[in-house]
Structure 1
Amino acid sequence: MKTWVTITRENVGSHKVVRMVPADEVAIDAGVKWAAAAVPRHYVSADEIAAVLRELGKPEAAEVLSGKLPVSKRTRSGELGEILATQFVARELGYRMIARLRWKDGREMPMRGDDLLGVRMVDDDKLEFLKGEAKSRASLSTSTLNEAEAALLSEHGLPTPHALMFVAARLREMGETKLHMKILAAQLRGRIRSGDVLHLLFTFSGNDSLRLLRDHTEAYKGKIRRLGVGLQVPEHQAFIRRVFEKVIRDARAR
């Protein structure tokens, strides 16, 4: 993401807040291309698309992808926010992430569990977890941050059992059996402590979220480390529309 946004960081006590914003229209155009390239693999694996292309052809492969994409503005907004957050966590923070939208029951159906659950191995015996909430709003408000806060503080601030089991199962299917077993052991043996967790509150909005995130982080009294990240794209709704339109256009042009 740092290829198309300007990033500023500041400390808020022992926590951190990050603001990301495109510098101009050229940067926004670059962001649309960047996001449109990232979106497809969050809904369909590269192996599946390759197999459909090989066995059935380009129109069918495009149809497989477009049939997975949400249609409503609200769902597109929320899911693009989650995708952008997932990319940030994987690329900028180095946690192993799962493209969980591939396992939705329906393209307009919400998923249960934590929006974001990342994991990384510090050494052979220790795991670190990221528990995150992603919020996408044309105009971000304090009430939206409070809603995310409630989700972050569920399960005493630790990753939810459902999210842990889901991620562990997906990793096993992908052949990452060592990490799968480490997650299960940490969960089932009660080895996850608050010091092993980072909370991420990721916002994607049309308005500047820096002050809101700063004030919200200052008011946080918990012991788990907190990172607030605000991605601001002034033409929020237009950006979302352009991204999904480009995803579909690119799929049909392959």
Structure 2
Amino acid sequence: MALYKRWCDATKTREKRKYYWTYVEKDGGRDKIFDDLAQAIRLHYDRMERIAEDVERLGYKVAAEILSEAMPQTKKGRSGDFGEILATELVEEEVGLRVPVRRLRYKDGRNMAMRGDDFIGAGYDDKGEKLWLLKGEAKSNKVLGKATVTSARKVLDRDSGRCTPDSLLFVANRLLESNNPDDNALGRSLRDEVGLKSLHADRIDHMLFTVSGNGPHASLKQDLEATSTNRDQYVVNIHIEDHQDFIAAIYQEAEDLGDD
């Protein structure tokens, strides 16, 4: 599901291992992806087969009620989740790594933020042999400022820049529960990494992902300039001018399963 290419115009710059990407909505782009984005949001909270089973057993209205119970109802909760969802979709579309576990399906409470790394991308090198990770922090703000950027960078740098063990183990264990042998193999690699900590920094990339109503704040470039070049560093901004109104509208659409 390629959202970004249809939705936004992108400006991308690169210097060595530093990537600065900004996205602005195209004229008419929102209409092209609105239904698909609502569907993507649903799938971050539940599996399609479970939603379909609810519809078959109980009808669309009750199935929608069940799905709604998994989704945050506060502005803050929706904004935070929305940032993680957009970041996950971008990593898989633009970076080429998997974000193999939709962690919002496992929240303790729908309005509560989850602990640990916001998103983890995982895969292997070009030869398909060596594990490769991406540690990500997502921020969604009506007005993005320097304090938010500074806070996100501190989170990325903690644990010596590595994915936190609890976050990595959570993803690993979910993959090991899968019936897919490829998932099992990746889960085993991640679980091994929790114990061995064998990955060098140059195979643990970082992404500071932001979505905001005021567009890319100057602190984003300043933050990227200050990072090291021992790993790929992605700094990303998605500019959605009507930030809060758009989030409210897309969640309303996501909660509505229709009647056919």
Instruction: Please tell me the TM-score bracket, short chain as reference.
Output: over 0.9
Indicate which of 112, 115, 118 corresponds to 1:115.
118
Alignment correspondent of 1:51: 53
> Could you tell me whether the CA contact under 8 Å between 1:158 and 1:193 is conserved in 2?
no
Deviation per CA, 1:24-82: give whole Å up to 9, x if none. Answer: 3x223334333212100000111211222233332221111111111100111111111
Shift of 1:109: 1.3
Return closer, same or farther for 1:94/1:14 CA change in 2, 3 Å cut-off. closer
**AA in 2 matched with 1:145:** V
Indicate yes or no: 2:256 matched with 1:253. no
Distance 2:173 2:192 in 1: 13
Distance 1:133 1:12 in 2: 21
Query: How many pairs are equivalent?
Result: 252
Indicate which of 115, 140, 143 corresponds to 2:144.
140
Report the identity percentage: 35
Indicate yes or no: 2:165 matched with 1:158. no
Alignment correspondent of 1:131: 135
Alignment correspondent of 2:17: 14
Distance 1:222 1:144 in 2: 22
> Could you tell me whether the CA contact under 8 Å between 1:206 and 1:234 is conserved in 2?
yes
Indicate yes or no: 2:172 matched with 1:168. yes
Distance 2:95 2:189 in 1: 20
SS at match of 2:5: coil
TM-score (norm 1): 0.93
TM-score (norm 2): 0.91
**AA in 2 matched with 1:102:** R
Shift of 1:19: 0.5
Alignment correspondent of 1:79: 81
> Could you tell me whether the CA contact under 8 Å between 1:131 and 1:198 is conserved in 2?
yes
**AA in 2 matched with 1:130:** L
Alignment correspondent of 2:201: 194
**AA in 2 matched with 1:143:** A
Task: Please give the root-mean-square deviation of Cα atoms over the aligned residues, in Å.
Answer: 1.6
Indicate yes or no: 2:45 matched with 1:38. no
> Could you tell me whether the CA contact under 8 Å between 1:35 and 1:84 is conserved in 2?
no
Distance 2:229 2:39 in 1: 37
SS at match of 1:139: coil
Distance 1:144 1:222 in 2: 22
Deviation per CA, 1:95-115: give whole Å up to 9, x if none. Answer: 121210000011011111100
SS at match of 2:156: helix
Distance 2:178 2:76 in 1: 31
Shift of 1:184: 1.3
Distance 1:212 1:11 in 2: 17
Runs of 4+ in 1 over 6 A off after TM superposition: none
